[in-house]
């Protein structure tokens, strides 16, 4: 509510009894209507004397409102609210004129229309929801005396309070200008003479009512009655005067004989005088003999600087240069006083620029020419005190500081927040953030950390590196951080025990596989010392265990957010895991996954797999957010914040920088730092502000490529810093502290001090106390390109040898350092090293590193290490270093087999076959060849290769591949029935003959090949495998032999087949083939004696068993068979429809289409039973193969079982729909 000093003019130039502003308004209404014709007489109450001198009307005559939250008391600062708006809000409000109202309260109102000023008057009356006795009127001097800080600790509170008062005073002048636009003679215009401290009236509220506003730093602001915007949660300060708040701040308007309305510059200067007294804590400001212009206050320019149609800046800046304000000597001592009492420099500059506005067109660009500009700057200081107030040196001295802050991403941030909130409902599992390099993806993605912390969740993140030094490094670090967070939150022994039990139940003995990848897991549960798993299933098993660990932890406690950044540099092993991670989070409401990738980098040929995966994620349950470059206004916000300068002053500079950087945040940052280092941007200690020359900056030619710009700037560094920067780039994106210590001795320099200096120059960043990293991969790239190719190779070799020597001499088990050193040597290459002894040593180190990578299930890194080890071998390596060479080639073939690269396996095997000294040395490489040919579906070549080796091992394959005679079968069956029991078979000793065990492994691979290629040979192979088991002892593969042999016997009517199936399940209990045996026995054997629903449950157990052991093929087979068996059991079709669809989509997304044809056939049956025989799932989803496509695939692959399944489905549909389906085209 506006309160003014009570004034009344009785004569020219004479002041007698004061009248209220509302009385003046009523008098104005009478003067506008001298004739009383057609008027209605209305008596309205007026407010009493503001200082409580006994002249006010009774308080019970005021309008009352039953609204409890005072929401009806809302008056805009820029426009008056109609009384109808208030009445509509609360119809219970009654208006009762006071009985003692005098004739001075009488106004003649037009019955046909309401005057806007009368509407405003009535609104003020109806919105008076504070009892006059609960208000306190203070002059500005009184408020200053009451709020004066007693020491430095209270000064900042006082300044923040004073800023809010200054903002409200500015609003008063802006409102006055708005009224003057409509009526230049309005009584509500504030004359220039009234703009002084003595006329400032502050209305305070007394009492402790919680509904009366929020107290901030000694006072509170009624936000419903004021345009001032304050985020009250920003300040955690004790109120100086508890229970008090400011209701309004206004000017009193005494009656002047000849009021002068003043010019724009005079009004601004007068406002500056008030602000000087306000911030100087009462020091008087005298205008002296200054001559004031008497133009109307409505000549004030209130609009912001705008751009003309051609995009140029049209106002405010008459020159491209940042012209300093020349100042006025009369104000110099005042400005100095503000600085002496500790007022922040932004506040001092604001007062100085207001005072210097009196210079008019002779003033500089910094001075104010608009009340709106003053208001914006005041609001900035209120909203962001940490930037404009809480700094000891304006601009932090001569150093340019560009904060890691998100600019111009409000809409994208809202989408990310919404995705996070929807995750708990299962509607969204994460976000995919895409954009070009430097647009701020990483900074933006960190918003998810804020959301997670606000929700009391856990946040972990990992950033992929193009030159990763350790296999599975990022994924391992993410899970290590997760375990550390959970361990830190354990509050009691009981809680620790429950967590350990839960993890032990879910992970079992397989947790030992995670010991090398997630060593921090030992803080949550005991790790077993050993577990059994070959390298072929270790990768799948490790993925399963990691996902099980995540699922268990997410259900035990808080929600978890995982941020994986820079996916364009992801390694193949991590990519495979991320595919599985995404599938897992789709069904886990407690995990929010954030993925970031650079779009241009993944579109290259070598990153096509990453690109295809990211493309497949679009439209999924991930919220896809594309980030682009910033617009000019956002760039101006960055420049303004970085220079601690008002946005109105940096707009011209920002326009130039936007054109040079195209709005790319990283490019903009580097450009500004380059301008600062070059002196184009400099900090003036005398004026305590940043200065620049727009002409020089505009004419400056910059590189279009940010890497070229960085490289050119780096060459200007001191020699010592340049050497350190090059050394750091050779090590990689991240530089461990141990490496810094090693290289300091090698380079004979204080590398730690050098890197610290580079951190201060923003080239590097410290991560804790044990790691440095480049602040951006473009900086890393630019530093690396400072060197020639030859110099890079030489430095890599020198640094690698130094690191490896340290590892061999001090800590051979420090595998992380070993990976760093070996990677450095490999990047140097064998061409740089001529010493034959050292070359042999490096080959051995590569073999060790590759074998370690195999244990970590990173087969790509392992293959790379083995390949480099082969390159470093000397020319006579087969003669001089036979075993080292054989091990390298065999291990390379193993890694290539795990990566399903049959051609590469064959190339390594051919070398082994050509140089190996005996058959036993050749067998491992040959086995990898047979396995890779089988997995690549090159079945004929697989059978030929295996047959050749079996012949060399003494096997008569011509007999084995033919169906054994009936007599032979019965003889073996009799042996199994009469001479052996199940217990005796299980108790068979383990086979100790290496060649015999190898024969069993080859037959196992051939069993699958013949199952597809020629099933008639299966009985002979199974017969031979069971016979070998009884002769030589049991192997892991023996369980599969009994299972397959039992299937063949069941098909031929031998009842013993059922017993062999049960025996196979017992043999496989502790075998890695358990999932396969369950699938085979339950699908082809147990259906004879078990009900279908029991078989379906067994397949589900086989699915989980396969997941646990890492047998993805058998696990997926069991799941497919479980769904099909449920269909045959008569389960609910709607549920089966969803299950089949999800399974098929999972096969397509994982690109493992092992059982896609089989599941698609039954899925079609389910859909047709629901929708009708003419509906095809392929029509609804083209990714699902049609029946014609399945038939064509079966014919091409010679898949006999699939042919039988197709015929069976046609018969079933023919029976169900009473039609001849064999005649249907599809």
Mean pLDDT of 295-308: 37
Q: Which value, in Å, is the radius of gyration of the alpha carbons in the chain?
A: 42
Residue 881, pLDDT score = 93
Residue 1194, pLDDT score = 75
Residue 141, pLDDT score = 87
Tell me the percentage of the chain whose pLDDT exceeds 70: 76
Quick one: how many helices (H) and strands (E) in the chain?
Answer: 51, 19
Residue 924, pLDDT score = 93
619: pLDDT strictly greater than 70: no
Quote the CA–CA distance of 616 and 1187 in Å, as a whole number: 25
Quote the CA–CA distance of 750 and 728 in Å, as a whole number: 13
State the pLDDT confidence band at 17, using cuts at 50, 70 and 90. very low
Q: Cα-flanking dihedrals φ and ψ of residue 626, to 5°?
A: -100, 125
Residue 999, pLDDT score = 92
Q: In the Cβ-directed half-sphere of 811, how many Cα atoms lie within 13 Å?
A: 9
Quote the CA–CA distance of 623 and 567 in Å, as a whole number: 16
1156: pLDDT strictly greater than 90: no
Model confidence pLDDT, tens digit, residues 192-230:
888 888 888 888 876 543 333 333 333 333 333 333 333
1134: pLDDT strictly greater than 90: no
Q: Does 120 or 870 have the greater pLDDT score?
A: 870
State the pLDDT confidence band at 1193, using cuts at 50, 70 and 90. confident
Residue 1151, pLDDT score = 66
Residue 848, pLDDT score = 93
Residue 448, pLDDT score = 93
Quote the CA–CA distance of 924 and 985 in Å, as a whole number: 28
627: pLDDT strictly greater than 90: yes
458-470 core/surface letters (b: 16 or more CB in 10 A; e: else): bbbbbbbbebbbb
787: pLDDT strictly greater than 80: yes
Quote the CA–CA distance of 1043 and 1114 in Å, as a whole number: 14
State the pLDDT confidence band at 259, using cuts at 50, 70 and 90. low
Residue 765, pLDDT score = 87
437 is written with which tokens? 């390099």
Residue 660, pLDDT score = 87
Which contiguous run of DSSP H or E holds residue 432? Answer: strand 430-435
Q: Which of 140-144, 366-370, 741-745, 941-945 has the lowest mean pLDDT?
A: 366-370
Model confidence pLDDT, tens digit, residues 58-108:
333 333 343 444 444 433 333 333 333 333 333 333 333 433 333 333 333
Mean pLDDT of 837-841: 92
Q: Which of 128-137, 621-630, 1004-1013 has the lowest mean pLDDT?
A: 128-137
Quote the CA–CA distance of 1022 and 1064 in Å, as a whole number: 13
- Planar angle of CA 806, 809, 814, nearest 5 degrees: 65
Tell me the percentage of the chain whose pLDDT exceeds 90: 24
Residue 917, pLDDT score = 92
Residue 152, pLDDT score = 67
Residue 458, pLDDT score = 93
Task: Identify the residue whose tokens are 């320099």.
Answer: 749
Judged on CB neighbours under 10 Å (0-12, 13-18, 19+), 491 is: exposed
615: pLDDT strictly greater than 50: yes
Cβ contact 43:105 at 8 Å = yes
Quote the CA–CA distance of 455 and 423 in Å, as a whole number: 12
Which contiguous run of DSSP H or E holds residue 689? Answer: strand 689-692
Model confidence pLDDT, tens digit, residues 354-397:
888 877 655 667 888 888 889 999 998 888 887 777 655 444 44
- Tell me the pTM: 0.72
Distances (CA, A) of 921 to 630, 701, 927, 994, 1134: 63, 66, 11, 12, 56
Taking all residues of the chain, what is their mean pLDDT, rounded to a whole number?
A: 77
By residue count, the chain amounts to 1226
State the pLDDT confidence band at 871, using cuts at 50, 70 and 90. very high
Residue 1222, pLDDT score = 52
State the pLDDT confidence band at 1197, using cuts at 50, 70 and 90. low
269 is written with which tokens? 């200067």
Model confidence pLDDT, tens digit, residues 475-486:
999 999 999 999
Model confidence pLDDT, tens digit, residues 1072-1123:
889 999 999 998 888 778 888 899 999 999 998 888 887 888 888 899 999 9
620: pLDDT strictly greater than 80: no
471: pLDDT strictly greater than 80: no
**3-class SS letters over 761-783:** CCCEEECCCCEEEECCHHHHHHH
For residue 538, give the nearest of 851, 162, 326, 110 by alpha carbon: 851
Model confidence pLDDT, tens digit, residues 841-868:
999 999 999 999 888 888 889 999 999 9
State the pLDDT confidence band at 310, using cuts at 50, 70 and 90. very low
Q: Does 989 or 230 have the greater pLDDT score?
A: 989
131: pLDDT strictly greater than 60: no
Q: What contacts 853, CB < 8 A, 6 or more positions away?
A: 471, 859, 861, 862, 865
Residue 634, pLDDT score = 93
Model confidence pLDDT, tens digit, residues 921-980:
999 999 999 999 988 878 889 999 999 999 999 998 888 888 888 888 888 878 776 656
Strands (E), 1086-1142: none
625: pLDDT strictly greater than 70: yes
State the pLDDT confidence band at 755, using cuts at 50, 70 and 90. very high
Cβ contact 405:641 at 8 Å = yes
Q: What contacts 448, CB < 8 A, 6 or more positions away?
A: 416, 420, 431, 459, 561, 563, 592, 594
Residue 639, pLDDT score = 92
């Amino acid at each position: 509510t506006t309160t003014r000093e009570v004034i009344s003019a009785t004569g020219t130039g004479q002041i007698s009894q004061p009248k209220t502003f509302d009385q003046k308004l009523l008098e104005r209404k009478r003067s506008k209507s001298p004739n009383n014709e057609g008027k209605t007489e209305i008596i309205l109450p007026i407010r009493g004397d503001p200082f409580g001198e006994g002249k006010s009307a009774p308080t019970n005559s005021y309008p009352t409102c039953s609204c409890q939250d005072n929401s009806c008391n809302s008056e805009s600062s820029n426009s008056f609210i109609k009384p109808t708006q208030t009445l509509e809000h609360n119809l219970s409000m009654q208006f009762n004129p006071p009985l003692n109202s005098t004739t001075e309260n009488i106004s003649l109102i037009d019955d046909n229309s309401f005057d806007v000023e009368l509407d405003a008057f009535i609104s003020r009356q109806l919105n008076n929801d504070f009892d006059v006795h609960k208000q306190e009127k203070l002059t500005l001097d009184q408020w200053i005396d009451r709020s004066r800080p007693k020491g430095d600790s209270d000064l900042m509170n006082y300044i923040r309070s004073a800023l809010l008062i200054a903002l409200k005073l500015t609003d008063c002048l802006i409102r006055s200008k708005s009224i003057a636009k409509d009526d230049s003679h309005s009584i509500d215009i504030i004359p220039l003479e009234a703009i002084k401290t003595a006329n400032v009236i502050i209305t305070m509220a007394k009492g402790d009512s919680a509904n009366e506003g929020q107290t901030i730093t000694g006072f509170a602001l009624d936000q419903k009655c004021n345009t001032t915007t304050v985020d009250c949660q920003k300040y955690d300060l004790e109120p100086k005067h508890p229970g008090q708040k400011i209701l309004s701040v206004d000017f009193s308007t005494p009656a002047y004989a000849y009021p002068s309305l003043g010019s724009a510059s005079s009004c601004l200067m007068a406002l500056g005088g008030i602000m000087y007294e306000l911030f100087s804590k009462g020091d008087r400001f005298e205008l002296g003999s200054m001559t004031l212009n008497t133009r109307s206050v409505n000549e004030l320019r209130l609009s912001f600087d705008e751009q003309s149609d051609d995009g140029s800046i049209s106002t405010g800046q008459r020159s491209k240069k940042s012209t300093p304000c020349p100042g006025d000597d009369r104000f110099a001592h005042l400005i100095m006083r503000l600085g002496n009492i500790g007022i922040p420099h932004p506040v001092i500059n604001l007062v100085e620029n207001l005072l210097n506005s009196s210079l008019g067109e002779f003033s500089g660009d910094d001075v104010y020419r608009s009340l709106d500009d003053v208001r914006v700057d005041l609001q900035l200081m209120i909203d962001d005190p940490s930037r404009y107030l809480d700094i000891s040196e304006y601009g932090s001295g001569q150093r340019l500081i560009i904060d890691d802050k998100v600019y111009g991403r409000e809409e994208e941030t809202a989408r990310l927040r919404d995705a996070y909130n929807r995750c708990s409902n299962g509607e969204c599992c994460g976000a995919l953030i895409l954009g070009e390099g430097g647009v701020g993806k990483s900074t933006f993605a960190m918003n998810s950390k804020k959301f997670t912390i606000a929700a009391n969740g856990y946040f972990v993140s990992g950033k992929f590196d193009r030159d990763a030094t350790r296999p599975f490094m990022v994924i391992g670090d993410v899970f290590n951080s997760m375990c550390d967070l959970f361990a830190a939150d354990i509050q009691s022994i009981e809680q620790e025990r429950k967590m350990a039990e839960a993890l032990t139940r879910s992970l079992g003995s397989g947790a030992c596989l995670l010991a090398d990848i997630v060593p921090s897991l030992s803080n949550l549960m005991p790790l077993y010392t050993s577990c059994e798993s070959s390298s072929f299933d270790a990768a799948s098993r490790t993925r399963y265990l990691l996902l099980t660990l995540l699922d268990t932890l997410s259900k035990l406690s808080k929600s978890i957010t995982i941020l994986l950044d820079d996916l364009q540099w992801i390694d193949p092993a991590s990519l495979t895991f991320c595919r599985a991670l995404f599938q897992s989070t789709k069904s886990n409401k407690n995990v929010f996954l954030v993925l970031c990738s650079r779009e241009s980098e993944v579109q290259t040929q070598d990153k096509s797999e990453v690109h295809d995966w990211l493309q497949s994620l679009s439209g999924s349950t991930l919220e896809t957010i594309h980030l682009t470059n910033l617009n000019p206004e956002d760039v101006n916000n960055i420049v303004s914040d970085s220079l601690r300068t008002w946005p109105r002053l940096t707009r011209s500079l920002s326009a130039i920088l936007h054109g040079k950087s195209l709005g790319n945040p990283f490019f903009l940052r580097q450009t500004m730092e380059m301008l600062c280092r070059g002196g184009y941007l400099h900090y003036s200690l005398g004026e305590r502000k940043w200065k620049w020359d727009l002409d020089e900056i505009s004419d400056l030619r910059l590189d279009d490529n940010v890497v070229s710009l960085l490289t050119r700037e780096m060459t200007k560094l001191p020699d010592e810093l340049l050497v350190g920067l090059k050394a750091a780039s050779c090590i990689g994106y991240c530089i461990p502290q141990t490496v810094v210590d090693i290289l300091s001795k090698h380079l004979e320099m204080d590398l730690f001090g050098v890197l610290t200096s580079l951190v201060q120059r923003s080239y590097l960043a410290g991560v804790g106390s044990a790691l440095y990293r480049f602040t951006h991969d473009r900086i890393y790239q630019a530093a690396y390109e400072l060197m020639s190719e030859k110099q890079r190779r030489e430095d890599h070799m020198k640094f690698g040898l130094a690191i490896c020597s340290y590892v061999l001499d001090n800590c051979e088990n420090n595998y992380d350092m070993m990976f760093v050193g070996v990677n450095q040597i490999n990047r140097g290459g064998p061409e740089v090293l001529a010493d034959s002894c050292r070359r042999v040593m490096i080959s051995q180190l590569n073999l060790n590193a590759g074998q370690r990578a195999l244990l970590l299930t990173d087969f790509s890194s392992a293959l790379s290490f083995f390949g480099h080890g082969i390159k470093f071998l000397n020319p006579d390596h087969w003669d001089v270093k036979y075993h080292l060479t054989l091990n390298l080639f065999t291990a390379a073939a193993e890694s290539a087999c795990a990566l399903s690269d049959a051609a590469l396996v064959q190339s390594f095997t051919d070398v082994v076959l050509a140089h190996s000294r005996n058959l036993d040395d050749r067998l491992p490489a040959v086995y990898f060849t047979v396995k890779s040919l089988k997995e690549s579906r090159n079945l004929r070549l697989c059978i030929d290769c295996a047959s050749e080796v079996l012949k060399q091992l003494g096997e008569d394959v011509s007999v084995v591949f033919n169906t054994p005679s009936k007599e032979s079968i019965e003889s073996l069956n009799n042996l199994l029935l009469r001479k052996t029991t199940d217990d005796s078979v299980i108790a068979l000793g383990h086979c100790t003959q290496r060649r015999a065990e190898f024969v069993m492994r080859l037959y196992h691979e051939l069993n699958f090949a013949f199952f597809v290629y020629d099933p008639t040979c299966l009985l002979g192979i199974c017969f031979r495998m069971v016979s070998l088991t009884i002769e030589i002892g049991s192997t892991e593969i023996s369980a599969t032999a009994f299972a397959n042999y039992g299937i063949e016997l069941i098909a031929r009517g031998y009842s013993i087949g059922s017993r062999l199936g049960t025996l196979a399940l017992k043999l496989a209990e502790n075998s890695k083939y358990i999932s396969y045996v369950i699938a085979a026995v339950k699908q082809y054997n147990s259906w004879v004696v078990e009900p279908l629903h029991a078989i379906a449950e067994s397949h589900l157990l086989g699915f989980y068993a396969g997941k646990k052991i890492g047998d993805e093929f058998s696990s997926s087979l069991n799941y497919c068979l479980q769904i099909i068996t449920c269909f045959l059991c008569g389960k609910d079709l709607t549920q089966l429809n969803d299950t089949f669809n999800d399974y098929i989509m999972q096969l397509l997304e994982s690109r493992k289409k092992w059982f896609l044809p089989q599941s698609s056939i039954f899925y079609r049956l389910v859909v047709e039973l629901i929708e009708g025989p003419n509906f095809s799932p392929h029509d609804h989803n083209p990714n699902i193969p049609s029946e014609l496509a399945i038939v064509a695939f079966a014919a091409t692959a010679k898949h006999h079982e699939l042919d039988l399944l197709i015929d069976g489905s046609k018969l079933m549909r023919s029976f169900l729909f009473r039609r001849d389906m064999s005649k249907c085209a599809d």
